[in-house]
Amino acid sequence: MTTSISRAGPADLDALAALFDAYRQFYGQPADLPRARQWLRERLRFGESVVLVARRAGAIAGFAQLYPMFSSVRTARTWILNDLYVDAATRRAGVARTLLDAAAAFARADGAAGIALETALDNVPARALYRAAGWQEDATQWYSLALD
């Protein structure tokens, strides 16, 4: 089955909010769909983040949310890949890797100098995925992908 990636828009908000709420619950937050929807709506409405959605068979299977940042030393924009989540029913099908590659392509096309993310040391599957995708791990748990 093919995975397609697109930038989230207003029409994606309801389906995306349900997945974002599941993501928050994965990290120990209580279910709160209205809060998840409002958070996403505001980020998208005010251009404070970019959300890439992965679709399989027409349904949203995962997402990556990126926030802009700037490097004074490099005098360039960078991006933080803050959120990456794939629906449990769709895991192990390459969706996360496709989202990682799409996030890097987005940042590259934006002219960014780099993209970074952070994950817990005990998140072994995610760490393996990031390394396999070419991301570099350092002692502070950060992974980065140089784009230039």
Closest CA to 21 of 67, 49, 60: 60
Identify whether the C-beta of residue 53 lies closer than 8 Å to the C-beta of residue 73.
Answer: no
Structural domain count, the chain: 1
**Residue 28: its pLDDT value, please?**
92
Q: What is the pLDDT of residues 30-65, one digit of tens each?
A: 999 999 999 999 999 999 999 999 999 989 999 999
Statement: residue 141 has pLDDT above 60: no
**Residue 118: its pLDDT value, please?**
86
Residue 144 main-chain phi, psi, to 5 deg: -140, 155
What residue numbers bound the domain in which 63 lies? 3-146
**CATH code of 76's domain:** 3.40.630.30
Residue 15 exposed, middle or buried by CB count within 10 Å (0-12, 13-18, 19+): middle
